[in-house]
């Protein structure tokens, strides 16, 4: 995997300036109970309180703004996503008055469709297969001359997500480690690029649902995942993609710890419950996964020099009528 | 009701200095959807993120600190409350290393008992009647030489709750009105004293569950409630007391608008759901009541000069295993 990395800290600082007027600087929360339980100081970055309810808007708005600066031939944007990235891109496009079409499988819930439409985007429905989504999205892009903005495997998206780490280290300069839930790897790549530049000694740990086998891949340096890409059987919808992207993969290999935190559905649920009940924040299961990692036995085995630990509460887009503990 | 008011703005500013090291300065949230729905700018003061999960700790810590300054004969504090005030007083007492005994009916849920014990307080169980609670509490106070700190009808408690308004008007100086859920009236009294002093033109509106008949009482100037004091049949446990207190009553009569917002269980539930789903915050039903008032038809009829409206999200102590929409 000799691919040269294409995103650097300068891209993240540029992204930061570019998007700052369009996003929230999200607050940091602490909790004395979890500090007591873990014996470390845990800092939560509340991206569930970000516009659109997830961090995804950072990468989306960075991509759209950059496109608008650079390529005057492009007249709109599209992606395929029924989840956070779909809402994020729709919101980003509206911010700069770009037309936007989001491709969603026809089985997508009415609530999710309404959320995307609420940001003024057009919806294009497609069949249930991954290939249906990709093909429909490509067709939309071709017909309308729209640019495709993927949810994570895109340099401007990665740079946008990196702004989380810039903010976090301004808010809590003493962080020794950051735990990040991983799906396609856009968020952890951006965070690792920014955090390791600002503070080379910091450790960036991946958190994954069972079955992602990321530790095995990182340790061996091989993409061991089956193809075509699979979805994992996890309650954490936001991180159900098994493979990380082809652009994010070399960044993970270079900058992320080989030790990975793997959490199961029960642990994810308990992590979510902790945040709801003790911290009074609504978070989705992908955030619960990162909290579960902090509550795990494995976390206790981390080196004692790791005192101040950042955790990304990546999103809050959970259907409150179907919480996983009911 | 010629009772002379006994709490003034100076008491609130003193409380502010006294308690600032012990509480959170809670953040303000806005939401473009609710601004669009209401045609006004709504600002939410997130006391659900306050220590102990509710505003109650402000009044409790003010009372305990003042007691410690003034009366060296008192060796501890007690109250009867299975809810937010019980937790708040337990936490406040621990902060100043005061022994504390909280009287709770024996049917109180294990979760609530554990929360109070978690703050290091002793639990004293009593029978189910209101008179059992009061008598047991008086007995504890006498036997142990503990001071009773009531949940709302106490001058230092009122002054402590008033600090919410001081902070709120520092954070959002342009507020034209504040909506406050009312139970015993401690919070709205304190808020009205502080807010009307800082900004005499501001309007402070009470929000109540059905059956409280507060508007009728305020308009007639009479305490029309039946005795002994009744609990209302509402999902908003934090505001189920029908009567306001005898110390808070003249303050309400003097400073609070006669027009009251009355909300039913269904509206309270919808208010809670809005905050969970759109604002990603966990709030209890008493907070949902204030949001319901903002979403009501009655709210639309308010004078158009009322542009910037503050809403207190008073607490987040809801049992997430028994949310009212399940």
Q: B-chain residues within 8 Å CB-CB of A34?
A: none
Cβ proximity of A323 and A56 under 8 Å: no
Q: Which residue in A has a C-alpha nearest to residue B47's C-alpha?
A: A280
Same domain? For B172 and B262 the reply is yes
Cβ proximity of A54 and A84 under 8 Å: yes
User: Does some domain include residue A238?
Assistant: yes
Rounded-to-integer distance, Cα B87 and Cα A221, Å: 52
Same domain? For A143 and A68 the reply is yes
CB pair distance less than 8 Å for B281 and A282: yes
The last residue of a domain, from among B90, B125, B148: B148
pLDDT attached to residue A1: 42
- Higher-confidence residue: B1 or A196? A196
Same domain? For B167 and B269 the reply is yes
pLDDT attached to residue A3: 53
Q: A-chain residues within 8 Å CB-CB of B53?
A: 280
The minimum CA-CA distance between A91 and chain B, rounded to whole Å, is 13
Active-site option among B45, B51, B54, B56? B56
CB pair distance less than 8 Å for A320 and B323: yes
The minimum CA-CA distance between B324 and chain A, rounded to whole Å, is 10
The minimum CA-CA distance between A319 and chain B, rounded to whole Å, is 7
- pLDDT tens string, chain A, 326 residues long: the values are 445 668 999 999 999 999 999 999 999 999 999 999 999 999 999 999 999 999 999 999 999 999 988 867 788 999 999 789 999 999 999 999 999 999 998 988 888 898 899 999 999 999 988 889 999 999 999 999 999 999 999 999 999 999 999 999 999 999 999 999 999 999 999 999 999 999 999 999 999 999 999 999 999 999 999 998 899 999 999 999 999 999 999 999 999 999 999 999 999 999 999 999 999 999 999 999 999 999 999 999 999 999 999 999 999 999 999 999 99
Give the DSSP H/E element, type plus range, for residue B101. strand B100-105
Q: Is the pLDDT of residue B40 over 50?
A: yes
For the record, the structure tokens of B53 come out as 């999960």
Longest dimension (CA), chain A: 57
Q: How many residues does chain B have?
A: 326
Chain A contact for B282, CB < 8 A?
A: yes
Task: Among B280, B281, B286, B288, pick the best mutation site for testing chain A contact (most A Cβ within 10 A).
Answer: B280
N- to C-terminal Cα distance for chain B? 44
User: Does some domain include residue B164?
Assistant: yes
Sheet-wide strand order for B308-313: B28-29, B41-46, B308-313, B177-181, B203-209, B261-263
Q: Of all residues in chain B, what percent carry a pLDDT higher than 70?
A: 98
Q: Which residue from B280, B321, B325 is facing A325, i.e. has the nearest CB?
A: B321
Same domain? For A206 and A308 the reply is yes
3-state percent helix, strand, coil for chain B, nearest multiple of 5: 45, 15, 35
3-state percent helix, strand, coil for chain A, nearest multiple of 5: 45, 15, 35
Same domain? For A241 and A171 the reply is yes
The minimum CA-CA distance between A172 and chain B, rounded to whole Å, is 18
Same domain? For A191 and A253 the reply is yes
Instruction: Give mean pLDDT, residues B97-118.
Output: 90
What is the interface pTM, i.e. ipTM, of the complex?
Answer: 0.94
Rounded-to-integer distance, Cα A141 and Cα A87, Å: 18
Chain B contact for A322, CB < 8 A?
A: no
The minimum CA-CA distance between A225 and chain B, rounded to whole Å, is 34
Give the DSSP H/E element, type plus range, for residue B271. helix B265-279
The last residue of a domain, from among A128, A148, A168: A148
Sign of CA dihedral A310, A63, A149, A192: negative
Q: Of all residues in chain B, what percent carry a pLDDT higher than 90?
A: 89
pLDDT attached to residue A212: 98
For residue B136, the 8-state DSSP code is H
pLDDT band at B3 (very low <50, low <70, confident <90, very high): low
Q: Is A56 a catalytic residue?
A: yes
Active-site option among A82, A95, A152, A181? A82
Cβ proximity of B241 and B214 under 8 Å: no
User: Does some domain include residue A326?
Assistant: no
Residue B14: Cβ within 10 Å count: 16
Which candidate, B235, B231, B89, B106, places its Cα nearest to that of B149?
A: B89
The minimum CA-CA distance between B182 and chain A, rounded to whole Å, is 21
Active-site option among A45, A51, A56, A269? A56
Q: B-chain residues within 8 Å CB-CB of A282?
A: 276-277, 280-282
User: Does some domain include residue A291?
Assistant: yes
For residue B36, the 8-state DSSP code is H
Name the E strands within chain A: 28-29, 41-46, 76-80, 100-105, 122-126, 146-148, 177-181, 203-209, 261-263, 308-313
CB pair distance less than 8 Å for A280 and B316: yes
Q: Which residue in A has a C-alpha nearest to residue B284's C-alpha?
A: A280
Residue B56: Cβ within 10 Å count: 33
Burial letters B58-90, b for 16+ CB under 10 A, else e: bbbbbbbbbbeeeeeebebbbbbbbbbbbbbbb
pLDDT attached to residue A31: 96
Q: Which residue in B has a C-alpha nearest to residue A318's C-alpha?
A: B277
CATH number for the domain including A252? Answer: 3.40.50.1100
Give the DSSP H/E element, type plus range, for residue B46. strand B41-46
| Neighbouring residues of A298: CB distance < 8 A, sequence distance ≥ 6 | A261
User: Does some domain include residue B13?
Assistant: yes
Chain A contact for B277, CB < 8 A?
A: yes
For residue A30, the 8-state DSSP code is -
Chain B contact for A324, CB < 8 A?
A: no
Same domain? For A62 and A188 the reply is no
- Dump pLDDT digits (tens) for B202-216: 999 999 999 999 999
Same domain? For B48 and B18 the reply is yes
Q: Which residue in B has a C-alpha nearest to residue A283's C-alpha?
A: B280
Cβ proximity of B43 and B178 under 8 Å: no
CB pair distance less than 8 Å for A280 and B277: no
Rounded-to-integer distance, Cα A183 and Cα A202, Å: 21
Chain B contact for A316, CB < 8 A?
A: yes
pLDDT attached to residue A4: 61
Q: B-chain residues within 8 Å CB-CB of A321?
A: 325
Same domain? For A217 and A303 the reply is yes
pLDDT attached to residue A5: 66
The minimum CA-CA distance between B80 and chain A, rounded to whole Å, is 23
Q: Is B109 a catalytic residue?
A: no
User: Does some domain include residue A288?
Assistant: yes
Instruction: Give mean pLDDT, residues B95-116.
Output: 90
Same domain? For B77 and B42 the reply is no
Chain B contact for A130, CB < 8 A?
A: no
Which candidate, A123, A41, A52, places its Cα nearest to that of A87?
A: A52
Chain B contact for A321, CB < 8 A?
A: yes
The residue with tokens 């080379």 is A200
Rounded-to-integer distance, Cα A60 and Cα A55, Å: 9
The last residue of a domain, from among B132, B148, B164: B148
Cβ proximity of B216 and B243 under 8 Å: no
Cβ proximity of A124 and A105 under 8 Å: no
User: Does some domain include residue A320?
Assistant: no
Q: Which residue in A has a C-alpha nearest to residue B52's C-alpha?
A: A278
Q: A-chain residues within 8 Å CB-CB of B320?
A: 273, 276-277, 323, 325
User: Does some domain include residue B192?
Assistant: yes
Rounded-to-integer distance, Cα B160 and Cα B181, Å: 16
Same domain? For A94 and A214 the reply is no
Q: Which residue from A48, A49, A276 is facing B320, i.e. has the nearest CB?
A: A276
* Number of domains chain A is built from: 2
Cβ proximity of B160 and B89 under 8 Å: no
Active-site option among B54, B63, B81, B82? B82
Range of the domain at B115: 56-148
The residue with tokens 């004078």 is B303
Same domain? For A100 and A230 the reply is no
pLDDT attached to residue A2: 45
pLDDT band at B2 (very low <50, low <70, confident <90, very high): very low
Q: B-chain residues within 8 Å CB-CB of A322?
A: none
pLDDT attached to residue B4: 61
CB pair distance less than 8 Å for A49 and B323: no
Chain A contact for B272, CB < 8 A?
A: no
Rounded-to-integer distance, Cα A152 and Cα A86, Å: 12
Residue B228, preceding peptide bond in cis (omega within 30° of 0): yes
Name the E strands within B149-300: 177-181, 203-209, 261-263
Cβ proximity of A240 and A230 under 8 Å: no
pTM of the complete model: 0.95
The residue with tokens 């539930």 is B269
Which candidate, A177, A242, A139, places its Cα nearest to that of A40?
A: A177
pLDDT attached to residue B70: 84
How many angstroms separate the Cα of B130 from the Cα of each of A120, B103, B230?
54, 11, 9
Q: Which residue from A48, A280, A321 is facing B53, i.e. has the nearest CB?
A: A280
């Amino acid at each position: 995997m000799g691919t040269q990395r294409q995103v650097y800290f300068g891209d993240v600082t540029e992204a930061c300036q570019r998007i700052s007027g369009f996003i929230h600087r999200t607050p940091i929360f602490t909790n004395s109970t979890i500090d007591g339980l873990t014996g470390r100081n845990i800092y939560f970055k509340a991206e569930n309180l970000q516009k659109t309810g997830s961090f995804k808007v950072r990468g989306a708005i960075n991509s759209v703004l950059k496109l608008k600066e650079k390529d005057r031939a492009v007249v709109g944007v599209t992606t395929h996503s029924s989840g956070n990235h779909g809402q994020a891109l729709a919101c980003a496009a509206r911010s700069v008055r770009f037309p936007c079409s989001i491709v969603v499988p026809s089985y997508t819930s009415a609530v999710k469709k309404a959320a995307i439409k609420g940001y003024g985007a057009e919806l294009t429905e497609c069949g249930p297969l991954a290939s249906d989504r990709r093909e429909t999205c490509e067709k939309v892009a071709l017909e309308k001359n729209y640019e495709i903005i993927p949810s994570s495997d895109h340099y401007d998206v990665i740079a946008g997500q990196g702004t989380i780490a810039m903010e976090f280290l301004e808010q809590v300069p003493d962080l020794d480690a950051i735990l990040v839930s991983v799906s396609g790897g856009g968020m952890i790549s951006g965070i690792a690029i920014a955090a390791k530049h600002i503070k080379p000694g910091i450790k960036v740990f991946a958190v994954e649902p069972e079955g992602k086998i990321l530790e095995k891949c990182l340790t061996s340096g091989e993409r061991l995942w089956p193809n075509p890409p699979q979805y994992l059987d996890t309650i954490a919808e936001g991180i159900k993609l098994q493979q990380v992207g082809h652009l994010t993969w070399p960044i993970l290999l270079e900058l992320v710890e080989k030790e990975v935190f793997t959490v199961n559905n029960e642990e994810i649920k308990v992590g979510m419950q902790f945040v709801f009940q003790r911290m009074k924040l609504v978070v989705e299961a992908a955030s619960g996964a990162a909290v579960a990692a902090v509550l795990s036995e494995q976390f206790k085995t981390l080196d004692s020099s790791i005192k101040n630990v950042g955790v990304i509460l990546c999103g809050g887009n959970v259907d409150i009528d179907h919480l996983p503990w009911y």
